[in-house]
Amino acid sequence: MSHPERLKIRIARVDPTLPLPAYETAGAVGFDLLARLEMTVAPGALARIPANVIVETPPGYMLLVAARSSLPGRKGLSVPHGIGVIDRDYCGADDEILVQVYNFTAAPVTVGRGERIAQGVFVRVDQATWEETTFADRPARGGFGSTGAHGTVAGPTAAAEGRR
């Protein structure tokens, strides 16, 4: 079985005594990011945990950072926006990846130095060229949160606001 060629990624460690990010299994899509510092996150607080790396994402890609699936259950932490998006040009000398976490427990949570805190995935992306119009040429679907909804959706529609 042949394996696709891997992306060659330029990466710098802030603390070279910690290992590079690693794919933990042959089938892993994401690589683990490690906490560079031990940090304690107070109950109900946000923290930005330094992940020890500066990554030069190649053209045509973005780096998506997500919580490890065990983070909420084992640590009581979540990534408040679900994911972090690392742009291709976020790779300067001071652009260490930071993993934002929220402590949803009633107790302080400590993340240890070198602990696997998040995972990174390279995702192919394109940039759009906008073609502006004055109206949408398709019928309205029902608005925010309407897929799978049974009944009407509260709130103004484009027609009611006089936009059509």
CATH of the domain at 27: 2.70.40.10
* Residue at 158 is within a domain: no
Q: Are strands 109-111 and 39-41 parallel, antiparallel or unpaired?
A: antiparallel
Over residues 22-41, the pLDDT tens digits come to: 999 999 999 999 999 999 99
For residues 112-137, average pLDDT: 92
101 part of a folded domain: yes
Tokens of 155: 């709130």
Number of domains in the chain: 1
pTM as predicted: 0.79
> Do strands 46-50 and 53-56 pair parallel, antiparallel, or not at all (unpaired)?
unpaired
- Does 32 map to a domain? yes
Angstrom CA distances, 154 to 107, 136, 151, stand at 39, 21, 10
Any domain includes 35: yes
Region of 79 on the Ramachandran plot (φ > 0 left; ψ -120 to 50 alpha; else beta) = beta
| 127-155 tens-digit pLDDT | 999 998 887 777 777 777 777 665 554 55
More confident of the two residues 54 and 147: 54
The residue range of the domain holding 42 is: 10-124
Question: What does residue 73 show for φ and ψ, rounded to 5 degrees?
Answer: -70, -40
Tokens at 26, concatenated: 């042959």
Q: What is the pLDDT of residue 164?
A: 43
Residue 157 is assigned to a structural domain of this protein: no
- The b-or-e profile of 76-104 (16+ CB within 10 A means b, else e) is bbebeeeebebeeebbeeebbbbbbbbbe
Mean pLDDT of 43-54: 98
For residues 52-75, average pLDDT: 94
Residue 117 lies in a domain: yes
Please state the rounded mean pLDDT for residues 4-29.
94
The confidence score (pLDDT) of residue 52 equals: 98
| Sign of the torsion formed by the C-alpha atoms of 71, 73, 74 and 76 | positive
Q: Write down the pLDDT at residue 155.
A: 54
- Do 117 and 71 form a contact (C-beta atoms < 8 A)? yes
* Model confidence band, residue 3 (pLDDT cutoffs 50, 70, 90): low
Residue 137 counted as domain residue:
no
pLDDT of residue 156: 55
Average pLDDT over residues 48-65: 97
Examine residue 99 and state whether it is found in any structural domain, yes or no. yes
